[in-house]
Amino acid sequence: MRVSLTFSRRQFLKSSLGFGAWLYIWRASRSVAQLPIESKFDLAQPLIQAPSAPEVWPRFRQDLAEWREQARRSSRYSDARYGEESAQWTRSSFSSCFLMLCDAEFYDQRAGRFKADEFLDAAEQDFGGFDSLLLWHAYPRIGADDRNQFDFYRDMPGGLNGLREVVRQCRHRGVRALIVYKPWDVGTRREAVADVDALGDLVRAIEADGVYLDTMPEAPEGLRAALDGIRPGLVIEGEGVLPLEHVYDHQMSWAQYFEDSKAPGILKNKWFERRHMMHQTARWRRDRSEQLHIAWMNGSGMVVWENVFGSWVGWSARDRSMLRTMLPIQRRFAALFSGEGWTPLIRTEAANVYATLWESAGIRLWTLVNRADTPISGLLLKVPAARDAAYYDICAGQALSPRLQEGMVYLQGMLAPRGIAGFVAGPSASLGPDFPHFLATQRGLYHRGAMSTDFPTRPVVLREQPHEIAGQIHAHHHNMMKIPSARVTLRMQLKTRECGFYGNEMDHDELYGNFHKPRTFERTLVLSAYAIDVAPVTNAQYAEFLLATQYEPRFSTNFLRHWIGGKPPAGKEDHPVVYVCLDDARAYAQWAGKVIPTEDQWQYAAQGQTGWRYPWGNTMEPGRCNGGDTGTTTSVTAFPDGRSPFGCYDMCGNVWEWTESERTDGRTRFCMIRGGSYYAAQGSHWYMDGGPQPVDFAAKFLLMWPGLDRCATIGFRCVARLLD
């Protein structure tokens, strides 16, 4: 029976421990018969909140140990997979990069090649290197046409062979690569086989090291068996909270937005299975210190994710420095961080400083965090002395000569605001012959450290607008509508999606408070007089261009994919040309002595001076546009009742249209497409916007390379400048 503690109301009110600590003391004082172990923690949460008062930490640790023992025993837990040699790499896979394959630092658009080595070299300098990559591909582009998530991998530069070469380059450097599965992708083209079989085929084809589950905490039925049938060591990592009963066969999982207590909490799944690797992330937060603290105190990893679906959320210099310091220690002592000698919440000698002890085979390692926004220095820990032990500050890379008094060693050091520290103790021989070199490397990292928490902004630059070629306009003038010069105020809407808007206007609170809601932008400008094509460029017109110029794109993947034998499909000569990328459209426009319209030119031609939401008025009306009833494109003049105030056809529905709005922040290229299309993927709000759209609606379309940018649902029209 445990000793019962009672407190008067006056004692409680005078206490400086706070309600949470006293509640824990009260709970901890009750007998096992009175209070089951499960009720002492909120086990519905993935991170077990820790009490703030040091007085109750011993009881807290005992309760944690009892819960773990009971949970493993009652579930008849088997750790067989964690013992397999082929899966040992997960124990030291501390740094996981969420990689947008269209990231300009990874894919060179001009050279047309992936830059795996250059990307990983830069990661060594910036973050301390990556241990694994998540090869992200489809979202937020998927749904523009009926290509599914597997098609997006197949249509990458070089196809699956190109991706296999990327995976091999990564593995040569000790970096693993995972493909991504999107269980919500049920509204695009279906594969001839089940998703788990398609995933297995993909893993086999590119030699991936496992599968990451988008929006899904644990694997769908059959995936684990499918991967086991390919080769040993393939892992599954889920996004949501991994149920405890699946820890045995999911060696890794995400710890996304796990809210911590003031005293560092305990990752439930990591405590249950010490070899389970968890990666912390809170992707829209610009301050990563809380996630870094969780990782440092729990012996777990981090997700490095700066290009968030096309939105820039870069790491501050301070947070990069912290990760660079942590990772070499975590990798070197991975056996400690995945072993049984984990003692959380060791008493420290400084306010706002918390520590964890890791020990095995005579080596003790302490990880410390500073929860304060001010630096802390001086005495940090008093620890029992050990015979023949040497002491080191492993973050600063320094040997220590600590004071010894009454069998206790006094460890001093310095923690930056919201910073970390670490000490290691043990016989010099047990630390390894290369330990002095390791210290020297850490010392260099320490001196490279930076304190700035400023957000590393990236300006978004609009591509310089091309100019018309004079002297060729007259040949095509009869198919254009004249738009007089005007001073206009244009309002445009973008749906709040994770790919962002025109620049870096989005933050965490804005996104999650307004997800999938429209955001309005407004511009007042003077438009010079111009002429715009009365309808989108047709298959027949594009065929005329090819005959006249013998144009061949540098990369031909999916170019005019819908044509048959190099000619437009019979009966679709006057349908809008599709499967052309922005550069294919520009090439046509240059031949015609024109350019692609800007967003403003396109919108004004579509809505006129009235500012209508649709070319014909303010409400959607049947029979005015191609809304998808036929499941394909229609003639560009099929809907005369849907013409704009200036007489333009097909400015709503049928196909999206390219605009000359290409922008880049140096990592992501994108442009805005307008008008909507006949196609709309059904079944998930994660798909890109589809169907006919109001003329003031813009969709942000991430640009990758021609093979992906060419879609069944995107065409274009041209404009030319006119003199008043």
The pairing of strands 408-415 and 376-384 is antiparallel
pLDDT at residue 37, rounded to an integer: 55
- Let me know whether 427 and 476 are in one domain: no
Say if residue 89's pLDDT is above 90. yes
Residue 479 has pLDDT above 80, yes or no: yes
Could you give the percent of the chain with pLDDT greater than 90?
89
512 pLDDT exceeds 80? no
Q: Is the pLDDT of residue 472 over 70?
A: no
609 assigned to some structural domain: yes
Higher local confidence (pLDDT), 579 or 31? 579
Residues 649, 586, single domain; the answer is yes
Mark whether 378 and 520 lie in a shared domain: no
469 has a pLDDT exceeding 70:
no
Q: Bigger pLDDT: 7 or 659? A: 659
Cβ atoms < 10 Å from Cβ of 187: 18
**Separation of alpha carbons 620 and 613, rounded Å:** 9
Q: Which of 18, 52, 74 is the last residue of a domain?
A: 74
Q: Which amino acid is at 246?
A: H
Domain with 368 in it: what CATH number?
2.60.40.1180
For residue 5, pLDDT over 90 is answered with: no
Phi, psi of 391 (to 5 degrees): -125, 140
Residues 222, 194: Cα–Cα separation, whole Å? 10
- pLDDT tens digits, 158-197: 999 999 999 999 999 999 999 999 999 999 999 999 999 9
Burial class (CB in 10 A: 0-12, 13-18, 19+), 35: middle
Confidence band of 566 (pLDDT split at 50, 70, 90):
very high
Residue 424 falls inside a structural domain: yes
Question: What is d(CA 713, CA 162) in angstroms, rounded to the nearest whole number?
Answer: 26
Residue type, 588: Y
Number of domains the chain is built from: 3
Do 385 and 403 meet the contact criterion of CB atoms below 8 Å apart?
A: no
Q: Residue 68, SS3?
A: helix
Q: pLDDT for 35-49, tens place per residue?
A: 455 557 788 899 999
- Assess whether 478 and 533 both reside in one domain: yes
User: Model confidence over 286-325: pLDDT tens digits?
Assistant: 999 999 999 999 999 999 999 999 999 999 999 999 999 9
CA separation for the pair 20, 150 (Å, rounded): 49
Which tens digit of pLDDT belongs to each residue from 107-122?
Answer: 999 999 999 999 999 9
Question: What pLDDT, on the 0 to 100 scale, is given for residue 514?
Answer: 87
- Sign, CA dihedral 596-601-605-611, equals positive
Among 85-99, 490-504, 508-522, 589-603, name the one with the lowest average pLDDT. Answer: 508-522
Report yes or no: 345 and 49 within 8 Å, Cβ to Cβ.
no
Query: What tens digit of pLDDT does each residue of 341-382 get?
Result: 999 999 999 999 999 999 999 999 999 999 999 999 999 999
pLDDT at 27 over 80: no
Q: Is residue 309 part of a domain?
A: no
What pLDDT is stored for residue 61 in this prediction?
97
CA 173 to chain centre: 22
Q: How confident is the model at residue 147 (pLDDT cuts 50, 70, 90)?
A: very high
- Give the whole-angstrom CA distance, residue 35 versus residue 322: 41
In a domain, 142, yes or no: no
Determine the average pLDDT of the residues in 52-66: 96
In a shared domain, residues 443 and 508: no
CA distance 487 to 629: 38
Do both 537 and 656 map to the same domain?
Answer: yes
Q: Give the CATH number of the domain where residue 629 resides.
A: 3.90.1580.10
Residue 558 lies in a domain: yes
705 and 602 together in one domain: yes
HSE at residue 461, side-chain half, CA atoms within 13 A, is 7
User: What pLDDT score does 33 carry?
Assistant: 33
Beta bridge partners of 493: 520, 697
pLDDT band at 539 (very low <50, low <70, confident <90, very high): very high
Q: Which of 459-468, 474-483, 631-640, 658-667 has the lowest mean pLDDT?
A: 474-483
Identify the domain containing residue 15 by its residue range: 9-74
Least confident of 16-25, 514-523, 577-586, 647-656: 16-25
pLDDT at 397 over 60: yes
440 and 373 housed in the same domain: yes
Residue 550, pLDDT score = 97
**pLDDT score at 165:** 98
Rounded-to-5 percentages of helix, strand, coil across the chain: 30, 25, 45
- Region 202-218: mean pLDDT is 98
Q: Which of 91-105, 211-225, 373-387, 508-522 has the lowest mean pLDDT?
A: 508-522
Q: Is residue 55 part of a domain?
A: yes
Question: Residue 508 has what pLDDT?
Answer: 65
Residue 446 shares a structural domain with residue 481: no
Q: Are 483 and 630 found together in one domain?
A: yes
Residue 463 lies in a domain: no
Task: Name residues whose C-beta falls within 8 Å of residue 124's C-beta, 6 or more positions apart in sequence.
Answer: none
Whether 95 and 315 have beta carbons less than 8 Å apart is answered as no
Asked whether residue 372 falls in the same domain as residue 415, the answer is yes
User: Using 50, 70 and 90 to split pLDDT, how confident is the model at 513?
Assistant: confident
Across all residues in the chain, what is the average pLDDT?
92
- How far is the CA of 620 from the CAs of 136, 452, 616, 674, 694, in angstroms? 36, 51, 9, 16, 8
CB atoms within 10 A of CB 234: 23
Whether the pLDDT of residue 24 is over 90: the answer is no
pLDDT of res. 36: 53
Confidence of residue 475 (pLDDT cuts 50, 70, 90): very low
If asked whether residues 513 and 588 sit together in one domain, one would say yes
Peptide bond into 217 cis (omega under 30): no
Domain C-terminal end among 74, 90, 110: 74
In three-state form (DSSP H/G/I as H, E/B as E, the rest C), the secondary structure along 303-355 is: EECCEECCEECCCCHHHHHHHHHHHHHHHHCHHHHCCCCEEEEECCCCCCEEE
* Structural domain contains residue 535: yes
Last residue of a domain, one of 74, 101, 129: 74
